[in-house]
Structure 1
Amino acid sequence: MKLSCMASLAALFIALPAAAQPSARPMGPGSMPVFADFDGNGDGRITEQEFTDARSKRIAERATEGRAMRGLSQAVDFKEIDTNGDGALSREEFEANQSRHVQNRPMSPAR
């Protein structure tokens, strides 16, 4: 009994560091990207190049999956999201844009 309990605890302590690591999030239908998806170098700011690269990658992945590109023509420009005009997106600017995007989404019909 003690041995199996100790083995379980050991397995838990081995698994905890792995669980704490960021993992790839599944990007299923309707999922929203998060700040880290765009902050390529992890410096806490998203440059216009990082934004463009991440957006292009997301579009390419969705196209490869055969997913619809609804709303792409209405996608906001980097400069519209960069509300303070400093040439980089803060987490707050990015998340404010995501919130606006969610609020402006058409509601899905009930199933």
Structure 2
Amino acid sequence: MKQTGLEVRPMFHWAPRRIEAHVKLCVLALQVQRTAEIRTGLSWARIAHLLGTLKAVRYVAERQTIVQRTKIGPELAGLLKTLGISALKQVMAMSEAAETPATS
């Protein structure tokens, strides 16, 4: 595990079930990371950088809220395709803002 570049920090759990759950989650995260590296042939740092460019942005205008993803560049699109991950819709959510009662 020293060769993975996995950054860890101290976690303090005392209950056996929480310790077990934490270890399982760490192993699962490492497996996902290694699978992505093997499938793409890229380092985890590069994969994380590309995934970091994808963000969700919330716009609030008058009485409407829109959640939209940022544009997916060609390199990120290729990465997602290689990993078998379908891209999210451009507009992820739309909702009418609830009216706030006037305060006196």
TM range (shorter): under 0.3
Higher share of residues assigned strand: 2
Normalised by the length of structure 2, the TM-score is 0.23
More helix, by proportion: 1
